Amino acid sequence: MSRKRMSIWSRIGNAIRRGPHLVILGSLLFLSFVPMLMGLLISSKTHYEVYNHFFSLPRAVQWDNYTRATLDMLKPLGNTLFIAAVSVLGGLALASFAAYAFARLHMYGKNALFFILLCLMMMPGVLVQVPNFVLVRNLGLGNTFSGVMLFYIGGGQAFSIFLLRSFFDSQPEELFESARLDGATEMQTMSQIALPLARPILITVGIMNLLGYYSDLIWPLLVLTSKEKATLMMVLQKYAPPSMGQTLPNVAVQTAGYMLACVPLIILFTFGMKYYIQGLTSGAIKG
C-alpha cells in the first residue's frame, strides 16, 4: 500500500515538474495555429462582416467564398502542381545517379568535385537569378514551363546530391560487395539495393524541394508572362476579387484562396510525414 502511495505521489511530482514545460509548449502550439484559425474565420464571413465585425464569429458560413476562390485558383494550381511534380521527379532522378557515384564509385577527383558542389550550396540563390534569366531568354524558353522546370531541376541538384550522398555512403558496404560478387552491375546495385533502402530520404528530399517549388514566386514571375501559364503564387500575389456594389476588395474570398493554397501541402504532409521523419533521423544529414 505504501509503495502504491509513493508511486502516486511520484507521478504527481513529475506532473508538477513538467507543468511549466507543457504550458509553454501548449502556448506555442496555440500561437502557431492562430494564423490558420484567423484565416478560417475571415474566409467564412461575408464582405460586410469582414469590414464591420472583424473579430466576431460569422452568422453563417459562406461556402460561396471557397467556391469562387476554387474557380479562380483551379488552373494556376494545376500549373503549379505540374511544374513541381516534374521538377521533383526529374531532380531526384539526376541527383540519385550523381549521389550514388559520389558515395560508391571510386574515381579520380571525386572529393574535389564534391567540394565544388558544397561551394555551390553556399551561394545565395538570388545571385544567379539574373544570369539564369538571360540564359532562359537566349535559349528561347521564355514563357514556357520548361524554362521554369529545367532551372528548378538544376538549381536543386547541389542540395539533393548532398543529402542523398550522405545516405548512400551510410549503407552497409557488404550488401554491395555481395551483389558484385554475384555479377550485378553498378546500375543493378543502385536500382535494386541503394534506391529501395533510400526511400525515406528520397521522400524527404522530394518534400523539401516541392515546398520550395510550390511556394516560389520570383522565378515563375520572371519566366512566365501569360495568364494561362501563371502559377498559384503569381495569382495569389495580386488576387483581390471585387465585391458586388463595393469598391473594397473582397477579403473573405481572397483569404479563402490562401486557405485553399494550403490544402495540397497539408495532404502531402499527412501521407508523407512518416517517411519524412524517417529520412531525417536515419542518417540523412550525417556527414
CATH number, domain at 123?
A: 1.10.3720.10
The predicted-structure confidence for 21-32, as pLDDT tens digits, reads as follows 778 888 888 888
Report the alpha-carbon angle 214-77-35, nearest 5.
65
Q: What's the confidence (pLDDT) of residue 60?
A: 85
Q: Enter the C-alpha cell of residue 206.
A: 522530394
Q: Are residues 117 and 248 in the same domain?
A: yes
3-state helix, strand, coil in the chain (%, to 5): 80, 0, 20
The answer as to whether 6 is a domain residue is: yes
The answer as to whether 46 is a domain residue is: no
The answer as to whether 88 is a domain residue is: yes
Range of the domain at 185: 63-281
The answer as to whether 261 is a domain residue is: yes
HSE-up of residue 185 (Cα within 13 Å, Cβ side): 3
Q: Average pLDDT of 65-89?
A: 92
The predicted-structure confidence for 1-20, as pLDDT tens digits, reads as follows 455 555 666 666 666 777 77
CA–CA gap between residue 219 and residue 234 (Å, rounded): 10
Q: What's the number of domains the chain is made of?
A: 2
Higher-pLDDT residue of 234, 272: 234
CA–CA gap between residue 167 and residue 149 (Å, rounded): 26
The model's confidence at residue 230, banded by pLDDT at 50, 70 and 90, is very high
The answer as to whether 43 is a domain residue is: no
The predicted-structure confidence for 83-130, as pLDDT tens digits, reads as follows 999 999 999 999 999 999 888 888 888 888 888 888 888 888 888 888
Phi (first) and psi of residue 249, to 5 degrees: -65, 150
Q: What's the confidence (pLDDT) of residue 287?
A: 43
The answer as to whether 52 is a domain residue is: no
The answer as to whether 48 is a domain residue is: no
Q: Are residues 24 and 89 in the same domain?
A: no
Tell me the average pLDDT of the chain: 85
Q: Are residues 103 and 221 in the same domain?
A: yes
Q: Are residues 194 and 108 in the same domain?
A: yes
CA–CA gap between residue 237 and residue 221 (Å, rounded): 10
Q: Of 113, 195, 126, which is closest to residue 162 (Cα–Cα)?
A: 113
